[in-house]
Amino acid sequence: MKLPRLLLAALGLAFACQVGAQSKYPERPVTMIVPFAAGGPTDVVARIVGEHMSRTLGQQIVVENVAGAGGTTGITRGAQASADGYTIMMGHMGTHGAAPALYPGLKYDPAKDFEPIGLAAGTPILIVARKNHPATDLKSFIEWLKTNGDKVNMAHAGVGSVSHSTGVLFNSVVGVKPTFITYKGTGPALNDLMAGTVDFMTDQIVNVAPQVQGKTVKAFAIATATRSPALADVPTTKEGGLNGYEVSAWNAVFAPKGTPKEIVAKLTDALDKALDDEGTRKRLLDLGGVIPEKSGRGGAALQTLVVSEVARWTPVLKGSGDAK
Ligand code: ASP
């Protein structure tokens, strides 16, 4: 008789401790894995929202850049981390949409192995080239691509990244086969684009907006239905005469599967507050980021997005023999 009672008491204590730990969360800094190099779009979005989330949570969110394999190295590490709320990650359209089509051995399932916290920002795609590029508009740029074939260098952030997937789509819509140059993120790729050692890339607006404004790179088009208020001079792909290339990416926060609900709710609330904060909004909007409406925020909306993005990208990328 004594044993079950002792056992019950022990179980009760363990439960109480767990609940206590959850209600005190966070008691120490939280690591946010950014699966690309510092200074790129994922890093920028993570640092902007992370700063405000830290204020709400009362603990620092510390960004850790774990780059490699188009973002899948960092997200694999995040998926396998302890589900205690002290490791979260900034994923995106590549790691949680495109990657399954391109990595048969992917060690995580974007729709099953995470607790979705929420969408952080939408990031339209821009077609950007080195500033001394001879083309003057999208039409002449596409002609130049066709004339120069594999002598053209296209930068991307690894197979399955946003720049890679949207670049593969661009190449197939236009009918060109440039040579791919791989980086650990589009932060370092942008440095080479500014230096003129690569010709072009398709990248998230939050990475390139300041350079387009400063004219250190040339933007030929934005791949959205309407222009971005942050770059009002840049025409849409459709305005530039290119149909069938409208594509936007996104960044979103995830926790490992099994992270307690109370902790997930705290993180979702902190992200929501960040997206309502005027200063945070301004920083994202100035870079061309699209702030999700209330209905697009939170875990349920993100889960729906992930499922639809995997379904959207899988046929596009599997059908493209030129993805690698
Ligand atoms: N978003 C990545 C980065 O932060 C690059 C990519 O996915 O293209 O560098």
Distance 157 CA to ligand 1 centre (A): 6
What is the identity of the amino acid at 261? Answer: K
Q: Is the CB of 155 under 6 A from ligand 1?
A: no
Local confidence band at 220 (pLDDT 50, 70, 90 cut-offs): very high
Nearest to 40 by CA among 187, 158, 191: 187
Residue closest via CA to ligand 1's atom 4 equals 42
Residue closest via CA to ligand 1's atom 9 equals 185
* Mutual angle of helices 186-195 and 162-174, in 10-degree steps: 60
* Mutual angle of helices 186-195 and 205-213, in 10-degree steps: 20
Local confidence band at 318 (pLDDT 50, 70, 90 cut-offs): confident
Calculate ∠ Cα 282-286-290, nearest 5°.
80
pLDDT at 8: 58
What is the identity of the amino acid at 260? Answer: P
pLDDT at 22: 73
Tokens linked to 62:
């510390």
What's CA 162's distance to the chain center, in Å?
7
Q: Average pLDDT of 66-76?
A: 98
CA distance linking residue 320 with residue 216, whole number of Å = 32
Give the lowest-confidence range in 65-79, 179-193, 310-324. 310-324
Query: Is pLDDT of 82 > 90?
Result: yes
Per DSSP, what are the bridge partners of residue 222? 126, 236
Instruction: Tell me what percent of the chain is helix, strand and coil, each rounded to the nearest 5.
Output: 50, 20, 30
pLDDT at 18: 62
Tokens linked to 266:
């705290």
Q: Average pLDDT of 75-95?
A: 98
Residue for token digits 């949207």? 166
Residue closest via CA to ligand 1's atom 2 equals 185
Residue % of the chain over a pLDDT of 70: 92
Which residue among 63, 75, 162 is best mutated to probe the pocket of ligand 1, counting the most ligand atoms within 8 A of its Cβ?
Answer: 162
Residues whose CB is less than 8 angstroms from the CB of residue 280 and which lie 6 or more positions away in sequence, other chains included? 48, 49, 51, 52, 274
3-state secondary structure at position 280: helix
Q: Is the CB of 35 under 6 A from ligand 1?
A: no
Q: Is the CB of 141 under 6 A from ligand 1?
A: no
Q: Is the CB of 41 under 6 A from ligand 1?
A: yes
Distance 71 CA to ligand 1 centre (A): 8
On average, the pLDDT of the chain sits at: 94
Q: Average pLDDT of 179-184?
A: 98
The DSSP 8-state label assigned to residue 157 in this structure reads: S
Q: Average pLDDT of 63-71?
A: 98
Q: Is the CB of 205 under 6 A from ligand 1?
A: no
Query: Is pLDDT of 140 > 80?
Result: yes
The reply to whether domains 27-122+250-318 and 125-231 share a CATH topology is yes
Query: Is pLDDT of 35 > 60?
Result: yes
Whether 66 contacts 10, CB under 8 Å:
no
The DSSP 8-state label assigned to residue 184 in this structure reads: S
Distance 108 CA to ligand 1 centre (A): 19
Q: Give domain 125-231's CATH superfamily.
A: Periplasmic binding protein-like II (3.40.190.10)
pLDDT at 15: 58
Nearest to 295 by CA among 286, 287, 304: 304
Distance 38 CA to ligand 1 centre (A): 10
The count of other CB atoms within 10 Å of the CB of residue 220 is: 23
Query: Is pLDDT of 32 > 90?
Result: yes
pLDDT at 4: 62
Distance 33 CA to ligand 1 centre (A): 13
Query: Is pLDDT of 14 > 80?
Result: no
Whether 165 contacts 313, CB under 8 Å:
yes
Distance 94 CA to ligand 1 centre (A): 8
Local confidence band at 12 (pLDDT 50, 70, 90 cut-offs): low
Distance 143 CA to ligand 1 centre (A): 27
Query: Is pLDDT of 1 > 50?
Result: no
Query: Is pLDDT of 212 > 90?
Result: yes
- State which fold the 27-122+250-318 domain adopts: D-Maltodextrin-Binding Protein; domain 2 (3.40.190)
Structural domain boundaries in the chain = 27-122+250-318, 125-231
Whether 287 contacts 206, CB under 8 Å:
yes
Distance 151 CA to ligand 1 centre (A): 24
Residue % of the chain over a pLDDT of 90: 90
Question: Using one digit for the tens of pLDDT, what is the confidence trace for 262-309?
Answer: 999 999 999 999 999 999 999 999 999 999 999 999 999 999 999 999
State the virtual CA torsion across 219, 276, 271, 115 in degrees, nearest 10.
-90
Question: Using one digit for the tens of pLDDT, what is the confidence trace for 240-266?
Answer: 999 999 999 999 999 999 999 999 999
Q: CA–CA distance from 267 to each of 123, 129, 261, 291, 308 (Å)?
A: 22, 38, 10, 17, 23
Q: Average pLDDT of 156-170?
A: 97
